[in-house]
Amino acid sequence: MQDVSEGGWNYRLFEGKLKVGIVLVHEFMGQDDYARRVGRDLSDQGFWVTLVDLFRGKLARDRDEAHFLTQQVQRNDVLECMSGGLKILRERLGPGAPIGSMGFCMGGGFALLAACNLDLFFCVDYYGMIQDAQETRTLKGPVILILGSEDKRVTPWAIQQLLPAMVVHQKRIDVHLYPNAAHAFHRPGWEGHSPLSAADAWQKTLAFLHRFHDQSPKGSDHWATLG
């Protein structure tokens, strides 16, 4: 792991062995130990990761501060920061390597927003929302969406707005809905943490990501049609 900068933004870079990259977005608590652990876990699986820092070094002490910091982040900030993370990975992996976005909670929504607006191959969204589901019309690749049945905000939005938009725009999405799981169920130590659901969602995430390791022309064409 090393600290790198691009375009005025700071990142944690986790080196990998595969020609697959992930621009990873932290939750609304900031780039904390949990976010860094996810980056390390992905790196251990062989993926290159740039972990963004949308709060510019600040960490939330509680939910109120987390909501305040989140509100300070503008749409242009997200896309600019994500573009920097994409550029860093592109320089190391070379042209044509599949690079996507991934995030949790606030970060899941920002990962999806970036996938709708940047040249990203895929998106992993753990219970994250975007303001306008119709932006999915510009998605270039598949999405895997992780949801909890007890998430009273994100799950209804996904069912009522996101999925219909994906159908209309003919985009690929794999949805995994976990029963009796609350929002942020993947985060250890959180009140709604569900170890069994988190472990299963992680295995499904890795299976999704490892599909992009095949960089043969046939593999690339395959994913282009799925996207």
* pTM strictly above 0.85: yes
3-class state of residue 224 by DSSP: helix
pLDDT at 213: 81
pLDDT at 54: 96
Contact by Cβ (8 Å): 192, 180: no
pLDDT at 38: 97
Provide the CATH topology of domain 2-226: Rossmann fold (3.40.50)
Point out the residues of the chain with pLDDT beneath 50.
Answer: 215-227
In this structure, what are the phi and psi dihedrals at residue 65, rounded to the nearest 5 degrees? -70, -35
Q: Enumerate the domain spans of the chain.
A: 2-226
Which helix or strand (DSSP H or E) is residue 66 part of?
helix 63-72
pLDDT at 224: 41
pLDDT at 214: 64
Cα–Cα distance, 28 to 108 (Å, whole number)? 10
Contact by Cβ (8 Å): 129, 122: no
* pLDDT tens-digit readout, 42-94: 999 999 999 999 999 999 899 899 899 998 999 999 999 999 999 999 999 99
Dihedral sign of CA atoms 103, 107, 108, 113 in order: negative
- Computed over its alpha carbons, how large is the radius of gyration of the chain? 16
